[in-house]
Amino acid sequence: MTTSTPVMPKSTTLGFIGLGSMGSAMSARLLQAGHDVIAFDVARSCIEAFEAKGGRAASSLAHLAREAEIVFASLPSPQIVAAVLGDEALTRASVRIVVDLSTTGPAVCAQVAAQLRQSGIEFADSPVSGGRAGALKGTLSLMVACPPEVWQSVEDLLKVLGKPFYVGSAAGQAQTMKLINNLLSVVALAATCEGMTLGVKAGLDPQLMLDVFNASSARNSATTDKFPRAVLPRSFDFGFTTELSNKDLRLCLEEADALGVPMLVGSAARTLMSITQASFGAHADFTSMVRVVEQWAGVEVRGTRPQVPPREPPASRSTRSTPG
């Protein structure tokens, strides 16, 4: 009879690598839940902010690995993930499980998992969705792929960050799920940008259009969240850059090509996102996509809700007979 790895108690020291926009929020959630967390980041300002929240700073990756049994990573690119999680300093210490919260794509994920396994370290593939707002509130969705016994060890920890979904046991399955999710999100955003711009050009009010969409079959994540929060106010601050969005789209389309699945609509959405990045910069919010369509159409998606005409009182009926 096989025995399962026990769930880690709060006394277990957790490590966190990467304290950027997402990592700083997720590590803070673990601290707030009462866990002992030691973190490492190459940016000193990020480390100081983490210490101000009550966390402990690691002077190096090796320092973190000597103290932590479960290590979380939230890093910006597949190349950085491969380099950091493949570092010998991480494998020559007390680390038992590595949970990668980054979006790397299935190929790099499988490579990292195999390298760690050779050193006796278990791996959980766990990309997240929900942006910084979700990370701060602990409402992320987390797609998780790992052996069942690893899931038992990390499930409660991941619940601190949001709602985890166990999608399978093979490293890379969660990455594929995340990439598909992000592709559909951008496709919905692209279609909504075009539809909203068309409506404004035709004289329709954008807020009224959203009200109709959200009560009808066109409802999607762009109409319910992205446009009301970041486009109509013209703030373009939803919290996800064009650079990161393009990276995720590229990884998804590469995986689709490897599996022989055509992605005509996805490819068109990526083209529009690439134009957005070229027009407004890598660090522009991905909701800036609408600005590209606006420039082509010569309008802006902004406005006030039109006033509904007041109802006129019913006309009184005449008692006179109709002339013959």
Residues in the chain: 324
C-alpha to C-alpha distances, 320 to 16, 182, 267, 313, nearest whole angstrom: 87, 69, 70, 20
Element (H, E) at 40: strand 36-40
**Whether residue 3 has pLDDT greater than 50:** no
Quote the pLDDT of residue 60.
Answer: 95
Fold of 176-297: N-(1-d-carboxylethyl)-l-norvaline Dehydrogenase; domain 2 (1.10.1040)
Quote the pLDDT of residue 303.
Answer: 63
Whole-number mean pLDDT of the chain? Answer: 91
* Rounded-to-integer distance, Cα 39 and Cα 20, Å: 12
pTM score of the predicted model: 0.85
Quote the pLDDT of residue 308.
Answer: 59
What's the rounded mean pLDDT across residues 155-179? 97
Contact 167, 143 (CB under 8 A): yes
Q: Given its phi and psi angles, is residue 65 left (phi above 0), alpha (psi -120 to 50 degrees) or beta? A: alpha
Quote the pLDDT of residue 239.
Answer: 85
SS3 for 288-315 is: HHHHHHHHHHCCCCCCCCCCCCCCCCCC
Quote the pLDDT of residue 5.
Answer: 40
The hierarchical CATH code for the domain 13-170 is: 3.40.50.720
**Whether residue 269 has pLDDT greater than 90:** yes
**Whether residue 1 has pLDDT greater than 50:** no
**Whether residue 4 has pLDDT greater than 70:** no
Query: Could you give the residue range(s) of every CATH 3.40.50.720 domain in the chain?
Result: 13-170
Q: Where does the pLDDT of residue 93 fall: very low under 50, low under 70, confident under 90, or very high at 90 and above? A: confident
Q: Where does the pLDDT of residue 313 fall: very low under 50, low under 70, confident under 90, or very high at 90 and above? A: low
Q: Where does the pLDDT of residue 306 fall: very low under 50, low under 70, confident under 90, or very high at 90 and above? A: low
Q: Where does the pLDDT of residue 321 fall: very low under 50, low under 70, confident under 90, or very high at 90 and above? A: very low
Tell me whether residue 43 is exposed, middle or buried, using C-beta atoms within 10 angstroms of its C-beta: 0 to 12, 13 to 18, 19 or more: exposed
What's the rounded mean pLDDT across residues 156-178? 97
**Whether residue 250 has pLDDT greater than 80:** yes
* Segment 144-165, tens digit of pLDDT: 999 999 999 999 999 999 999 9
What's the rounded mean pLDDT across residues 275-296? 98
Query: Could you give the residue range(s) of every CATH 1.10.1040.10 domain in the chain?
Result: 176-297
Quote the pLDDT of residue 2.
Answer: 38
Phi (first) and psi of residue 97, to 5 degrees: -140, 135
**Whether residue 323 has pLDDT greater than 50:** no
Quote the pLDDT of residue 309.
Answer: 65
Distance from CA of residue 254 to its chain's centroid?
A: 19
Quote the pLDDT of residue 7.
Answer: 47
